[in-house]
Amino acid sequence: MTAPPAPPDAEPPLPRWMRLVGAGLTALVAVLALVLLQQVQQQASRSQALERRVQALENSRDLERTQALEAQLRAMLQRLQNLEASSGQLQELVLQQEELRRQLQLQRLQQNAQPPEFLPFPEPVPVPAPGRSSRSGAKGAAKSAAKGRPAAEGRP
């Protein structure tokens, strides 16, 4: 029996080597697709690992910044407490100064209320000058005492 005649639209069958090459190319494309899929998965895992590292670095930087800010805040708090203590000391000093001023004013008022004590000038003792008589010195001393000035000043 002979083979049935092929329909006029049908293509003739491909040779065996072409079918083998086609199957090999199909397998190669499948293998390449699998390799490409594996590479994409590896790349995604590397990317996630890098993102975690970057996030950890950012967190550590944030932590360092936070620690630096906390240290600054503690230092500022200490300075503020010192300032408040100094302010309290300043208020005490101002009150002490006002009290001392009041006491000084009271002393001045008390001194002004008491009449000043006048001590009389002592009578000058005439010293005889060489070659002069003691009478002329006594007259000058008497005149000066009468005017309220000591004779030792040398004014006539």
Q: Which positions ≥6 away from 156 have C-beta within 8 Å?
A: 140
In a domain, 120, yes or no: no
Neighbours of 149 (CB within 10 A): 13
- Position 92 scores a pLDDT of 94
Q: Check residue 155 and give its pLDDT.
A: 46
CA separation for the pair 72, 66 (Å, rounded)? 10
State the pTM of this model: 0.38
pLDDT digits (tens, 9 = 90+) for 75-100: 999 999 999 999 999 999 999 999 99
Ramachandran area for residue 128 (φ above 0: left; ψ -120 to 50: alpha; else beta): beta
Kindly tell me if the per-residue pLDDT of 8 is higher than 80: no
Domain with 97 in it:
17-113
CA distance 64 to 97: 49
Residue 44 lies in a domain: yes
Of 7 and 38, the one with more pLDDT: 38
Q: What is the mean pLDDT of residues 113-123?
A: 67
Q: Is residue 80 part of a domain?
A: yes
Tally of domains within the chain: 1
For the chain, the straight-line distance linking the first and the last C-alpha, in angstroms and rounded, comes to 182
Mean pLDDT, rounded, for 111-130: 71
User: What is the token pair recorded at 100?
Assistant: 């001392």
